[in-house]
Amino acid sequence: MKRTTSLLYSIVLLIAVALSACSKDFLDRPPLDSITDGNFYKTDEQVLAATSLLYSKVWFDYNDKASYNLGDFRAGTAYSAWNDRGNVLFNTTGVTPENGTAWRSFFIVVGQSNLAIENINKYAGDGVSEAVKKSAIAEARFMRALAYRFLVMNWGAVPIIENNLTLLSDTTITRNTVSSVWRFITNEMRAVVEDLPATSLRPGRLNKWAAEAMLARFYLTRAGVSAEGSGQRNQQFLDSAKYYAERVITQSPYKLVENYASLFTYPYDNNTESVFSLQWAFSPGAWGSQNSTPAYLAYSADIANGDGWGGDKGATWWMISQYEGITVTPTGLQGRTLDQRLKATFMLPGFHYPEITQSIPGGEQELVFPFTGSDNNFLSVKKYVCGKAKDMDGKAASQYYEYDTYMMRLAEVYLIYAEAVLGNQATTADAKAMEYFNAVHTRSGLAARELPLDMDVLLKERFIEFAMEGMAWYDLVSLHYWNPALAYQILNSQDRGLFFTEPDKFPDPTNWTFTKTSWATQDRTINANSGNFLLPIPAAELSQAPNLNKTPVDY
């Protein structure tokens, strides 16, 4: 089994029913045997095994499909032609499935983190070292703070819950203001920095540098929250973002992976660039401990394991236009790019992927993405698509994959530093900001950028670097806090409709022509505005917790 003790899996079996049976009502008191029974908090190994579950199962409903539906489809970096249309068309409602599963998953993270803190404080005995106890509680606080970051950025004001066990008798629970949620999670992460060890206790576990990296992310966003749409971010918070980002870049053990494609080529788990990843295991039968996302992204069963349901998913026209070398022509787009991130993120006709086995009539070959269609086709997703079981040492089956999910990479910390330096200026030519920006930019195979940085350049770099990592939507929300007009402009300028991609030759093309599908004239653009930007609270939650309709209060 992967990065765990055998004890963890006995715990997984013990609590699987309790976790999978969590009520959809986030206000429910969590089962007392969730995360683990008190009898399992007697040694360091038992405490570490118990908190291991905070790295996987509690995040499953978010990771399954909501991560890319909210993070990429709503943001416009990718789309689905026939499915998930509410999110693609920016019409996510109170009954859109991914809205409810994401909300539920984040509050499961909050509830189980709260319960882990409660149980460790209550049950950890003399056999548990003070260092492990402190670190485990800090892990739970980290997870809770990160879950609230997702909650506040998707739904705005949400209730802050630090103890689910008191809620059954509390009829006054209501939402807390956006500013107070950000204050809460920033203060939490500052405390976590002090309590996590400098070196991870186990591979893939959190350390203080992961917390400092997350603080850099939090402060950069919070600088905009304070602006309230004024266009001027809080300089103190920008300085804090810069401070923590530089500490992580210069003092942490993390390093950029040399080859971008290696970030998503098996085996990549817990590489030098991974600041924090969800830790999935290949354990058929233990539903919720695995990464199921590749099942929905792989374009065909030809490269999958009895799944491969992503045939209508792929890059949007707008996303392809972002890559350097893809130019606008009178009839569409045309060109090629030296940016290695395109091939590692989306598949264009003729791209070769020697790490993935493709079934063909009469046998198999290394994957050559096919050229199909006459007036529309799809540039399918490559990220998190890992191939057949034989491509992963047997660690893959239908909807069961071991690939970890990045929640933060060091590349983001480099770009956070550059944006924090830019701050409220129109441009910056700061030498260190340029150095860190170019460390990410040139890693992709592009030449170093010499012109000053501005917000458009930084956003474009983030969209390309993190496409299909569930990041783009949160970049737009962060922008929306202080410059909503620009956020709307970006979203409303996107083309999310069908198009046709034709290589100049097949196989081994050197150039592609992109043409919009002439008959697909509807639903190519969206209308993002102040009335639909944030997600509506899921209808099921409002019916069970009507206090969520009340005016938010400070926490």
Using alpha carbons only, give the angle 503, 262, 221 rounded to the nearest 5 degrees: 95
- Which DSSP string do the residues of 379-407 spell out, in sequence order? --B-TT----GGGGTT-EETTEE---EEE
256 and 229, same structural domain? Answer: yes
- Cα–Cα dist 156/165, whole Å: 24
Chain segment 236-278, per-residue pLDDT in tens: 999 999 999 999 999 999 999 999 999 999 999 999 999 999 9
Alpha-carbon radius of gyration of the chain: 23
386 and 252, same structural domain? Answer: no
Check which CATH number belongs to the domain holding 57 and give it.
Answer: 1.25.40.390
Chain segment 425-469, per-residue pLDDT in tens: 999 999 999 999 999 999 999 999 998 999 999 999 999 999 999
Is residue 106 a contact partner of residue 70, using CB atoms and an 8 Å limit? no
Query: 172 vs 397, which has greater pLDDT?
Result: 397
The confidence score (pLDDT) of residue 227 equals 85
With respect to residue 157, please indicate whether it lies within any of the assigned structural domains. Answer: yes
Instruction: Quote the percentage of the chain above a pLDDT of 70.
Output: 92
Using alpha carbons only, give the angle 411, 213, 277 rounded to the nearest 5 degrees: 70
With respect to residue 39, please indicate whether it lies within any of the assigned structural domains. Answer: yes
265 and 329, same structural domain? Answer: no
Chain segment 216-247, per-residue pLDDT in tens: 999 999 999 988 888 999 999 999 999 999 99
362 and 262, same structural domain? Answer: no
> Domain span at residue 40?
6-285+535-549
The confidence score (pLDDT) of residue 35 equals 55
Chain segment 325-354, per-residue pLDDT in tens: 999 999 999 999 999 999 999 999 999 999
313 and 192, same structural domain? Answer: no
Q: Is the pLDDT of residue 498 over 90?
A: yes
With respect to residue 479, please indicate whether it lies within any of the assigned structural domains. Answer: no
Confidence grade of residue 544 (pLDDT, cut at 50, 70, 90): confident
The confidence score (pLDDT) of residue 263 equals 98
300 and 209, same structural domain? Answer: no
Q: Is the backbone peptide bond immediately before 267 cis, with ω within 30 degrees of 0?
A: yes
Find the mean pLDDT for residues 133-145. 98
The confidence score (pLDDT) of residue 18 equals 37
Chain mean pLDDT for the chain: 92
The confidence score (pLDDT) of residue 228 equals 84
- Range of lowest pLDDT (6-20, 211-225, 472-486, 539-553): 6-20
136 and 39, same structural domain? Answer: yes
216 and 155, same structural domain? Answer: yes
With respect to residue 425, please indicate whether it lies within any of the assigned structural domains. Answer: no
264 and 338, same structural domain? Answer: no
- Residue keyed to tokens 């919009």: 516
274 and 317, same structural domain? Answer: no
Who contacts 483 (Cβ-Cβ below 8 Å, separation ≥6)? Answer: 224, 229, 231, 455
With respect to residue 340, please indicate whether it lies within any of the assigned structural domains. Answer: yes
Give the number of other Cβ atoms within 10 Å of residue 390's Cβ.
11
Side-chain-facing half-sphere of 393: CA atoms under 13 Å: 7
327 and 180, same structural domain? Answer: no
| Number of domains comprising the chain | 2
307 and 257, same structural domain? Answer: no
